[in-house]
C-alpha cells in the first residue's frame, strides 16, 4: 500500500488499453476522464486517512450487462445501444462503497448467449495469447482484458460457464459463487435460475478480495441468501506462503478421462491433480451418473428462461428511439437493428420448449434432470470436499471456425454447466498450455456456500505453480 497513487495506476491502465485494445477489442467503453477524476479523489481520501479498503482507488472492468446510470449497459446488443438504467447494480454499489473505480465495460456475447464472444453485435474480441483465436464467452471481453494486463480485476456473469470458460481460454482465474451468494440486482437477465455474478482476476487472492466485497445478502434480490460472508482474504493470509492441503479430499469423476477430452487437457488436468496430491490432498473417485445429460438439460432450461426474460425487448419499452419520429418508424428501426442470430435462435428454442404440447416433454423433463444432477453432486460431496473437473474439452479455437456449427460450441459447456444446474460454487484456474502456447484450465466445484474451501485449494495450488503468472505475448 502507498507505493503508487491511484491516479498513477489508472493512467497506467489507460496507457495499456491504448496500446493493446486496438488488437484485442476487449472493451466497449472506457471512462477515461471520469476514472482519472475518481482516482484523484481516492488519493485525496487516502491522504486524509480515509479509504482503507484494499480496493480503494483500484480500476476494474465490468461486463456490459451490469447496469449503472453513469455507464451504457448494452449487453453488446444493438437493441440496447445507448441504454442507461436509472439505478445501479448492487455489486457496483458495493464496489463503489469500497472505493473501486469502474474503468471500462467489457465486450461479451450478446445478452450473455455464447461461449466464444463472437456473438457480440458491437465488435470482435480476440484472445491475447493468439489474436486469431476466440477468448471464450460469454465474458470474453473481461477475460481478454485481464490477459492483456489492462486491469487487475473484473466482474462477469456465469450462466453455464460464462466466466470460467473464458478464464480457461485466456489463462486467468475466475469464481462462480453459490447461487444467491452474490446479488443479481442490476444484472440484465439471461436465465434467472442459473445466472450468477462472479469475480475474475489473475490469481486467487484477488478473487477472494473481490468476492468479499460483492457477496452478501441483498433485500432487493429475492434469491439472495442470508448467510454471513466469511473474511476470505484473512483466511488465505493465515495459510502462509507455502500452504498445504493435508486432509482435503478431491473428488475425481470415475469416467473423467474416458470422455472426449483433448489430449492436452487430459495431460494438464492430470498434472494439476498430481500437484494437489503432492500438497497432501487425497484423490477420491466419485460418481456423477447424470452428468452427461447436463448440456441438454441446461440448454432447454436456459433457452426457456431467455425467451421469457427477453420478451420485454419489444421495441417499445427498450430500443433506439429517435426524437421527432413516430412510434411505428421507431419500432421498425429498432427491430431491424435488434437481436443477433444466436439470441434469436435461443428465443425460438425456448419458446418452442415452453409451448403447449411440448412443455412436459422438454422443459419439465429438463428440470427433472436438473434435480437428478443436484442429487448426484450432493452425493459426491458426502465423500469429498471439492470436485475436480476440466473447464473445457479443449483450448480456444480459431475465430470464425465454429460460427456455422453452434452445437459444437454448446458442447464446450459440458463440464461447466454442472455447477450452475446444481447451484454450487466453482473456481476456474489455469493449469498449463497446449504445444502452441494456448492456455488450458481446470475447475474445482465446492459444496453450497463453500467458496472458502475452493479459495483455499486454489490458493495452495497457485502458491506451488506458476501458470497464473504467465504473460500473454502482446
Crossing angle between the packed helical segments 140-147 and 6-24, to the nearest 10 degrees: 110
pLDDT average, residue stretch 180-192: 97
d(CA 213, CA 190): 24
**CATH number of the domain within which 260 lies:** 3.90.1300.10
pLDDT of residue 319: 52
* Per annotation, catalytic residue among 145, 162, 173, 460: 162
Residue 415, in any domain of the structure: yes
Q: Is the confidence at residue 329, as pLDDT, over 60?
A: no
Q: Is the confidence at residue 191, as pLDDT, over 70?
A: yes
pLDDT of residue 256: 82
pLDDT of residue 337: 62
Task: Tell me the per-residue pLDDT of 128-184, one tens digit each, with 9 for 90 and over.
Answer: 999 999 999 999 999 999 999 999 999 999 999 999 999 999 999 999 999 999 999
d(CA 31, CA 105): 9
Per DSSP bridges, beta strands 59-63 and 153-158 are parallel
Q: Is the confidence at residue 440, as pLDDT, over 80?
A: yes
Task: Tell me the per-residue pLDDT of 372-420, one tens digit each, with 9 for 90 and over.
Answer: 999 999 999 999 999 999 999 999 999 999 999 999 999 999 999 999 9
Residue 150, in any domain of the structure: yes
d(CA 373, CA 371): 5
Quote the percentage of the chain above a pLDDT of 70.
95
pLDDT of residue 334: 47
pLDDT of residue 273: 98
Q: Which of 117-126, 329-338, 424-433 has the lowest mean pLDDT?
A: 329-338
What angle is formed at CA 38 by the lines to CA 173 and CA 137, rounded to 5 degrees? 30
Split into its structural domains, the chain has a count of: 1
**Using 50, 70 and 90 to split pLDDT, how confident is the model at 316?**
low
Q: Minimal CA–CA distance to 268: which of 257, 260, 258?
A: 257
Element containing residue 299 per DSSP (H, E): helix 294-309
Task: Tell me the per-residue pLDDT of 27-69, one tens digit each, with 9 for 90 and over.
Answer: 999 999 999 999 999 999 999 998 889 999 999 999 999 999 9
State the pTM of this model. 0.94
Question: Residue 130: what are its φ and ψ, rounded to 5°?
Answer: -160, 105
183 is catalytic: no
193 is catalytic: no
pLDDT of residue 15: 98
- Asked whether the beta carbons of 96 and 56 are under 8 A apart, the reply is no
pLDDT of residue 263: 92
- Terminal Cα-to-Cα distance of the chain (whole angstroms): 28
Q: Does the N-terminal peptide bond of residue 138 adopt cis geometry, omega within 30 degrees of 0?
A: yes
pLDDT of residue 322: 41
β-bridge partners, 158: 196
pLDDT of residue 327: 44
* Per annotation, catalytic residue among 138, 157, 173, 268: 138
Residue 297, in any domain of the structure: no
**Using 50, 70 and 90 to split pLDDT, how confident is the model at 353?**
very high
Question: Mean of the per-residue pLDDT values for the chain?
Answer: 94
Q: Is the confidence at residue 254, as pLDDT, over 90?
A: no
Residue 59 is part of which domain span? Answer: 6-290+373-469
d(CA 237, CA 230): 13
pLDDT average, residue stretch 79-96: 96
Q: Minimal CA–CA distance to 337: which of 157, 78, 148?
A: 78
Residue 438, in any domain of the structure: yes
CA dihedral 339, 340, 341, 343 (to 10 degrees): -60
Q: Is the confidence at residue 466, as pLDDT, over 60?
A: yes
Residue 236, in any domain of the structure: yes
pLDDT average, residue stretch 287-300: 96
Residue 345, in any domain of the structure: no
pLDDT average, residue stretch 365-369: 97
Residue 300, in any domain of the structure: no
pLDDT of residue 1: 46
Q: Is the confidence at residue 259, as pLDDT, over 80?
A: no
Q: Is the confidence at residue 325, as pLDDT, over 50?
A: no
Task: Tell me the per-residue pLDDT of 233-252, one tens digit each, with 9 for 90 and over.
Answer: 999 999 988 899 999 999 99
Residue 450, in any domain of the structure: yes
162 is catalytic: yes
Amino acid at each position: 500500500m502507498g507505493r503508487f497513487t491511484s491516479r498513477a495506476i489508472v493512467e497506467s491502465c489507460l496507457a495499456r488499453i491504448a496500446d493493446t485494445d486496438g488488437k484485442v477489442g476487449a472493451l466497449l467503453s472506457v471512462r477515461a476522464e471520469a476514472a482519472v477524476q475518481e482516482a484523484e479523489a481516492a488519493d485525496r481520501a487516502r491522504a486524509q486517512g480515509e479509504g482503507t479498503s484494499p480496493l480503494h482507488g483500484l480500476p476494474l472492468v465490468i461486463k456490459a450487462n451490469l447496469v449503472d446510470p453513469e455507464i451504457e449497459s448494452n449487453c453488446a446488443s444493438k437493441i440496447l445501444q445507448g441504454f442507461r438504467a436509472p439505478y445501479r447494480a448492487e455489486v457496483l454499489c458495493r464496489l463503489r462503497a469500497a472505493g473501486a473505480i469502474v474503468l471500462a465495460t467489457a465486450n461479451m456475447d450478446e445478452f450473455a448467449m455464447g461461449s466464444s464472444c463472437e456473438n457480440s453485435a458491437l465488435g470482435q474480441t480476440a484472445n491475447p495469447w493468439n489474436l486469431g483465436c476466440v477468448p471464450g464467452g460469454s465474458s470474453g471481453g473481461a477475460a481478454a482484458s485481464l490477459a492483456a494486463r489492462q486491469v487487475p480485476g473484473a466482474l462477469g456473469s456465469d450462466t453455464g460457464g460464462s466466466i470460467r470458460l473464458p478464464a480457461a481460454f485466456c489463462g486467468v482465474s475466475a469464481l462462480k459463487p453459490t447461487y444467491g451468494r452474490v446479488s443479481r440486482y442490476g444484472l440484465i437477465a439471461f436465465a434467472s435460475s442459473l445466472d450468477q455474478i462472479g469475480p475474475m482476476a489473475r490469481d486467487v487472492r484477488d478473487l477472494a478480495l473481490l468476492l468479499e466485497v460483492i457477496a452478501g445478502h441483498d433485500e432487493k434480490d429475492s434469491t439472495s441468501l442470508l448467510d454471513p460472508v466469511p473474511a476470505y482474504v484473512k483466511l488465505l493470509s493465515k495459510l502462509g506462503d507455502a500452504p498445504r492441503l493435508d486432509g482435503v479430499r478431491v473428488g475425481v469423476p470415475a469416467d473423467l478421462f474416458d470422455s472426449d477430452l483433448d489430449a492436452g487437457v487430459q495431460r494438464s488436468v492430470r498434472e494439476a491433480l498430481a500437484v494437489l496430491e503432492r500438497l497432501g490432498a487425497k484423490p477420491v473417485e466419485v460418481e456423477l451418473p447424470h452428468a452427461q445429460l447436463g448440456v441438454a438439460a441446461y440448454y432447454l432450461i436456459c433457452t426457456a428462461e431467455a425467451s421469457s426474460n427477453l420478451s420485454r425487448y419489444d421495441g417499445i419499452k427498450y430500443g433506439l428511439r429517435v426524437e421527432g419520429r413516430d412510434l411505428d418508424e421507431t419500432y421498425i428501426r429498432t427491430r431491424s437493428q435488434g437481436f443477433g442470430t444466436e439470441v434469436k435462435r435461443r428465443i425460438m428454442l425456448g419458446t418452442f420448449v415452453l409451448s403447449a404440447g411440448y412443455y412436459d416433454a422438454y422443459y419439465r423433463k429438463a428440470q427433472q434432470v436438473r434435480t437428478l444432477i443436484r442429487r448426484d453432486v450432493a452425493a459426491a460431496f458426502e465423500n469429498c470436499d471439492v470436485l475436480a473437473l476440466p473447464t473445457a474439452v479443449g483450448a480456444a479455437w480459431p475465430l470464425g471456425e465454429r460460427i456455422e456449427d453452434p452445437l459444437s460450441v454448446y458442447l464446450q459447456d459440458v463440464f461447466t454447466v454442472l455447477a450452475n444446474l446444481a447451484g454450487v460454487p466453482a473456481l476456474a484456474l489455469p493449469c498449463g498450455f497446449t504445444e502452441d502456447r494456448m492456455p488450458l484450465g481446470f475447475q474445482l466445484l465446492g459444496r453450497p456456500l463453500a467458496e472458502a474451501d475452493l479459495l483455499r485449494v486454489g490458493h495452495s495450488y497457485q502458491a506451488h505453480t506458476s501458470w497464473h503468472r504467465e504473460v500473454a505475448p502482446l
